[in-house]
Amino acid sequence: MTQYTAPLRRLGGTVLARHAVVAVGLIAMTAFTVPESRESAGAWLTLCLWCCLAYFAIGSALRAHEAFRAGRLGDLLSTSGFVDLISVFPIPIALICGVSPPTAWLFASLWVLKLAQNSREFARIGRVFVLEAKPLASVLVLFLIVLFLASAAMHVIERHGQPEAFGTLPRSLWWAVVTLTTTGYGDEVPQSTLGHLLGAVVMICGIATFGLWIGILTNGFAAESRRSNFIQTWDLVSKVPFFQTLDPSAITEVTHMLRRVEMPERTAVVRRGRVGDCMYFIAEGEVQVDVEPTPVRLAAGAFFGELALLGNSLRTANVSTTQPSTLLILDLADFRTLTAHHPELARVIEAEGKRRVSDNQRRRELQLRSGTSMP
């Protein structure tokens, strides 16, 4: 069956298509809650919503079918499988149970979770929260402490003056949350001088707590970034023959320096005449260098863009991908550091650069045309 659905899946299975359907679905769902638009275009909106639902249902069914065939039943119980489930079933179930359509379709807001499905970045953000769970929990406890003490005190101070706003602790807690997070709706405001003093203290505590929270997340994110980048880059470095002559300690060093970038097909990597401040290693895929008379193709494992780092700083040719490719970027700063520590690498790159320049020149002379050299 998979071979029949393949073209359909190729069309509808791309990330772009999925995001577009999510956007359309959310807008239609939002419009469907407005009585005016429901009256004027209700039928179209309903059609649109059912189409989106069908799209998600088919996608989920295909994934489930595949997981079933491959015997990976665990996939159905993963976060991704759960998102598949709750983006399809709640709506028809609610409609069957007799919930009015505008309310039932509110479950379509769960489609927004599709944007985060299978995202590596979300896994990273999640990891930051897991690794920093203890200090973040402490900040939340600090938040709770200020919250309860401030609202009990404010309740005592303002309950006689404003029985409506501060007469009960739940109302007072609402004020404290609104104030501590610096949201400040202004629906409940202390009015006595003592209340103002306490309010000022709560606001400053709010900022202090917030600052701690940001400090912890910033440090956590920095550590997690470094770690996950290293692991992902490490696998790619091993695919570039150029680095295999290095000893393990230097490979570790260079892995910390490289930056990964994934590029779709037919994308310009380097433009002729621009200032160049990095060189590229091809980890996966293929690029085409537009040198005269005939373009040159470089496969995985090759490097380019080194001429801009060695002498003249302008790119000498256009380079673009011919396939979806993963490139490793080495910035000028790191290139200097690397070649300073490992002069043999500098020699290899320089020799290759010279070979390319002379190669281009010879070819051009053969064709007696004014051409372009490699980037």
In the window 301-330, what residues touch a second copy (CB under 8 A)? none
Identity of the residue, 5 or 37, whose beta carbon is nearer to a second copy in the bound complex? 37
- Write down the residue that tokens 């179930």 correspond to: 93
Q: Does 222 bind a second copy (CB under 8 A)?
A: yes
Between 234 and 273, how does the x/- string for binding to a second copy read (CB under 8 A)? x------------xxx-xx--x---x--------------
Q: Which DSSP category does 290 fall into?
A: -
Interface stretch with a second copy, choices 39-47, 59-67, 108-116, 317-325 (CB under 8 A): 108-116
3 state SS of 344: helix
d(CA 31, CA 44): 11
CA 47, 53, 56, 60 dihedral sign is negative
- Two structure tokens written together for 105: 């379709």
Identity of the residue, 41 or 149, whose beta carbon is nearer to a second copy in the bound complex? 149
d(CA 278, CA 313): 10
- Two structure tokens written together for 255: 């892995």
d(CA 19, CA 127): 24
Least Cβ distance, residue 100 to a second copy (angstroms): 12
Which residues are bridge partners to 62 per DSSP? none
Least Cβ distance, residue 339 to a second copy (angstroms): 7
Q: Does 95 bind a second copy (CB under 8 A)?
A: no
Report which residue type is found at 268. Answer: A
Least Cβ distance, residue 228 to a second copy (angstroms): 9
Q: Does 118 bind a second copy (CB under 8 A)?
A: no
Identity of the residue, 296 or 338, whose beta carbon is nearer to a second copy in the bound complex? 338
Show Cβ contacts of residue 25 under 8 Å, excluding neighbours closer than 6 positions: 48, 49, 52, 53, 108, 111
Show Cβ contacts of residue 123 under 8 Å, excluding neighbours closer than 6 positions: none
* Residues 195, 172 contacting (CB under 8 angstroms): no
Identity of the residue, 155 or 356, whose beta carbon is nearer to a second copy in the bound complex? 155
Residue count at the site for a second copy (CB under 8 A)? 100
Interface stretch with a second copy, choices 1-9, 62-70, 118-126, 286-294 (CB under 8 A): 118-126
Q: Which of 183, 245, 294, 361 binds a second copy (CB under 8 A)?
A: 183
Identity of the residue, 9 or 127, whose beta carbon is nearer to a second copy in the bound complex? 127
> Which residues within the stretch 124-153 sit at the binding site for a second copy (CB under 8 A)?
124-125, 128, 131, 134-135, 137-145, 147-149, 151-152
> Which residues within the stretch 35-54 sit at the binding site for a second copy (CB under 8 A)?
35
Q: Does 116 bind a second copy (CB under 8 A)?
A: yes
Q: Does 59 bind a second copy (CB under 8 A)?
A: no
Q: Does 177 bind a second copy (CB under 8 A)?
A: yes
Q: Which of 66, 75, 277, 350 binds a second copy (CB under 8 A)?
A: 277
Taking alpha carbons only, the member of 148, 145, 154 closest to residue 198 is 154
Q: Does 170 bind a second copy (CB under 8 A)?
A: yes
Classify the phi-psi angles of 184: left when phi > 0, otherwise alpha if psi is within -120 to 50, otherwise beta: left
